Amino acid sequence: MTRRQYPNPPIEEAVCEFRFAPGQRWNLTVPGLFYERIRDTYPGEPRQQNLIQAELQIEPAPDNPELAFRHDFIKLLFQSADTKKLVGVGANLLSIHSLRPYEGWENFSERISKAFHTYLDVAKPVGVTRIALRYINKVAVAVNREIELSEYFTVYPQLPDGVPSRISGFLTRTESIYEDIPIRLVITLSDDLPPAGQVMFTLDLEASQEWLEKPLAIESALSSLYELKQREGQAFENLITDRTRELFNVS
């Protein structure tokens, strides 16, 4: 089962990210060259995004590990005139974003392909080390009563007897790897701040694959992305119920 097309999709943001094995030393001329080729599509004011990585530091005290955060590198974001479509470029990194209202996979994948080939022309990487496709979904339910999570999702927190069963907030996260292809699927489901008269949930799905020892050939990258899309779509449909689908079928 692939992800269906809905008149009112819940997608708040879709992100496709490529990480590359460099073929030449990265320098600050690359974003400028990239922007010159895409500025007709993304004429909005470029902005800067600092990317932060978390590291678990074990040595020299393995009994007392610490979680440290460091600024890793800067990504420049180029945006469309309406700020709903973006492309990000960093050191050996390319990301393509689609904000609500979602433009649909056909248009999104076309922008991905154009940005990908433009990046190849200016940065000249020799391979791909990681591809990720992430969909952040916001599911709003209008209610005047308490609801059961099982009405809307097939995965949800379950509490044992003796624990208060009225859930006032939750966050669940699961990481799994497919057996046939080493694609990692990360599922995060949580409650969110709702508008008045509604309850809100965030269903965040990311499908990714890495090639760290031997980078993936450039010409195989987009077909691998398509496989990620199929897995993400199938996971989304498996995680929601028909009652949830009714919410998305309202124009």
Model confidence, pTM: 0.88
Please give the Cα distance from 154 to 103 (Å, whole number).
27
> Are 246 and 207 in a shared domain?
yes
Neighbours of 240 (CB within 10 A): 19
Instruction: Determine the angle formed by the axes of helices 221-239 and 105-123, rounding to 10 degrees.
Output: 150
Which of 95, 124, 153 is the last residue in one of the domains?
124
The tokens for 56 are: 């678990």
> Are 135 and 250 in a shared domain?
yes
pLDDT at 70: 47
pLDDT at 50: 77
Which of 124, 146, 166 is the last residue in one of the domains?
124
Residue range of the domain that includes 50: 24-124
pLDDT at 148: 87
Task: Find, among 204, 62, 63, the residue nearest to 132 by Cα.
Answer: 204
pLDDT of the chain, 251 residues: tens digit per residue: 567 889 999 999 999 999 999 998 888 899 999 999 999 999 998 998 776 654 444 455 555 656 454 445 689 999 999 999 999 999 999 999 999 999 999 999 999 999 999 999 999 999 999 999 999 999 999 887 778 899 999 998 887 877 777 777 889 999 999 999 999 999 999 999 877 788 999 999 999 999 999 999 999 999 999 999 999 999 999 999 999 999 998 75
Give the count of domains, the chain: 2
Contact between 83 and 96 (Cβ < 8 Å): no
Q: How far is CA 37 from CA 30, 77, 117, 177, 181, in A?
A: 11, 14, 11, 37, 35
